[in-house]
Structure 1
Amino acid sequence: MMKKLLLTAILCATAFSAHSHRVWVSTDHTHGGEILKAELGYGEFPEFEPIAKERLDIFKPLQLITEKGKQNLIRKGMYNYQYQSAKPVADGSYLVVAEYQPTFWSKNAAGWKRENMTQMTDATYCEQTRMYGKNIVNVGHDSADTAIITRPVGHMLEIVPLDNPANIHVGDRFKVKVLLNGEPLPNVTLTATFDGFDTSDRSRTHKVEAQAFSDTTADDGTVSIIPLRQGFWKANVEHKMDFPDQKVCQKIANYSTLTFQIGHSHH
């Protein structure tokens, strides 16, 4: 097990990408009757950083998913990654989701640009990037419902929890299912880590943080995350496939995260 963890950490340390930034979502500990506050992560987990103005248009507003459907959160706060619900929320278990809309990124000798291969004719690589973030929020101390959070939201690539993490203790198995276009995705690697696992300074390297857990999905798309510590966790899965028109771009690249709290919240 230790070898596996070490190997994962080494692999993650050497994996460089233009898109080492991942989209993820965090919500403040919230009581029923309070405004829900959420933050859009697009940087070095678990740190938040302002989103570059020229990239703001890529992101859809954060959405709160309740039994009444989806509602956009309002961008509000000191920084452009901070959001709030329009109205106070009741006790219950909900999802807050983020979406980075399909965006072409191409690379040539000069670096990365937001273009496809018809625009950057000397590109050596192109991908249409899509990113998704999903956060499980339990409003009120006794909320551990599963109805909303175990229902797929329809992202092209998504991690669907099969239980509420409020019911999971340290060392328990937290089962999730990975879907691609709504279908189970077998044999894909899911990694997970928690706030405080990787304490190295990644601000200069922009590498993906070291992971505390790694496993592969079964034929039915399921995998059980084993959270060995209390705290704020982020699970991550990635998938690439050929872009339909190879003259325009090479790959469709999907990146999806699920964030959740194990044990008591310390916000």
Structure 2
Amino acid sequence: MKKIVIVLALAGAAFSAHAHRPWMVPTQTLIESDRETWVTIDGAVSEGLFDVDHMPLRMEGLTVIAPDGTSSQAPAPSVGKHRSTVDVQLPKDGTYRFTLAATNVMGTYKLNGETKRFGRGGPPEAPAGATDVKTTTMVQRQDTFVTRNKTSTGALKPVGSGLEMVPVSHPNELHAGERARFRFLLDGKPLANFPFSLVPGGVKYRGTANEVRLSTDANGEASFTLPAPNMYWLSAAYPADAPRGPGADGPAKRYSYSATLEILPE
């Protein structure tokens, strides 16, 4: 059930510029300290990007990848009406990656002439006697990054499964007006000509998403000039044009990825 809850919180990432978006935001992305160091990660699902206006992101499965590449489970979050919060200690200098990942099967079936769904808050699978069963496997990942004192790359190594973004440019050293390079992989292989987007926070003050649409080259890398300083939500999905909804006609396996990145002043 934990995986199902996480999938529900992540579902829909990158499929619509106007849908509810799941996000995690750290209190700081760069921390300079020679004392005991903690970071707070807030998580929510909202229509207004980084606004707490809908429901909490369930972060019970949050994984912390340390600067040396080792991973551990984050402490249990506090879950409120509109957001979740988890405090994580950063004992070592370097860059940490915070990841929510889940794989789940959802779908539809017919029973006694009625079409029903499974794997979305209901039964985990179609019951005995069901007909016309259609399933979709959802593989989802969400990241954010925090650095204590000095950047490092041990936590940034690709996992090799699912859809993932490999930051060739360090994710905590992004400055407006500079060039950045990201690589996208699917099960460890580069994704050529693959679309993704960046949306800055503060949508409610602009009245428009200001979505920046980008694409990788033939080698699965994108090189682009970073936009104005802000906290940004990066999102991507594969296949990019997959129909929405569990059991919908289309590919039997779908992938989504999102990340929260801070672009700093020049």
Q: So what's the TM-score if we normalise by structure 2?
A: 0.70
Q: Distance in 2 between matches of 1:39 and 1:153?
A: 24
Could you tell me which of 88, 98, 101 is aligned with 1:99?
101
**Alignment partner for residue 162 of structure 1, among 165, 168, 176?**
168
Contact 2:195 / 2:213 at 8 angstroms: preserved in 1?
yes
Does residue 1:259 correspond to 2:266, yes or no? no
Specify every segment of 5 or more residues in structure 1 that has no aligned partner in the other structure, as ranges: 1-14, 202-208
Match of 2:61 in 1: 61
Counterpart among 135, 138, 147 of residue 138 in structure 1: 147
More strand by share: 2
Secondary structure class of the residue paired with 1:75? coil
Paired with 1:46 and 1:69, the residues of 2 have a C-alpha distance of 29
Report the more deviating stretch, 233-242 or 128-137. Answer: 233-242
Match of 1:221 in 2: 220
Does the 8 Å contact 2:64/2:72 carry over to 1?
A: yes
Query: After the TM superposition, which residues 22-171 of structure 1 pair with which residues of structure 2 at under 5 Å, given as runs?
Result: 22-29=21-28, 30-32=31-33, 33-44=36-47, 45-48=49-52, 49-51=54-56, 61-66=61-66, 67=68, 69-77=70-78, 79=80, 81-85=84-88, 87-106=89-108, 114=120, 118=126, 121=131, 126-140=135-149, 143-145=150-152, 147-171=153-177
Root-mean-square deviation (CA, aligned residues, Å) is 3.8
Note the alpha carbon deviations across 1:17-38, whole angstroms, 9 max, x for none.
9x94444322111454222211
Runs of 5+ in structure 2 lacking a partner?
A: 1-14
Tell me by how many angstroms 1:198 deviates: 5.8
Residue 236, structure 1, aligned to residue 235, structure 2: yes
Give the SS at the match of 2:78: coil
- How far 1:51 sits from its partner (Å)? 3.8
Query: How much has 1:183 moved relative to structure 2?
Result: 0.7
Partner of 1:3: none
Distance 1:72 1:117, change over 3 A: closer
Q: Deviations over 1:139-178 (max 9, x none)?
A: 24xx333x22541134400011002144332122211000
What is the CA deviation profile of residues 175-233 of structure 1, one whole-angstrom value per residue up to 9, with x for unaligned ones?
Answer: 100000011011211111111246578xxxxxxx8352112211211112433110111
Pick closer, same or farther for the CA change 1:77–1:51 going to 2, 3 Å.
closer
- Change over 3 Å in CA distance of 1:162–1:149 after alignment to 2: farther
- Cα distance in 2, alignment partners of residues 261 and 111 from structure 1: 41
Pair 1:111–1:27, CA change in 2 (3 A): farther
- TM-aligned CA distance change 1:25 to 1:250, over 3 Å: same
Indicate the residue corresponding to 2:187 in structure 1.
181
**What whole-Å deviation, never above 9, does each CA across 1:112-161 have from its counterpart, x for those lacking one?**
652689557467x7532222111121224xx333x225411344000110
Distance 1:23 1:135 in 2: 12
Q: Please give the alpha-carbon distance, in whole angstroms, between the structure 1 residues aligned to 2:184 and 2:202.
A: 25
Is contact 1:127-1:251 (8 Å) kept? yes
Aligned length, in residue pairs: 229
Which deviates more, 109-118 or 90-99? 109-118
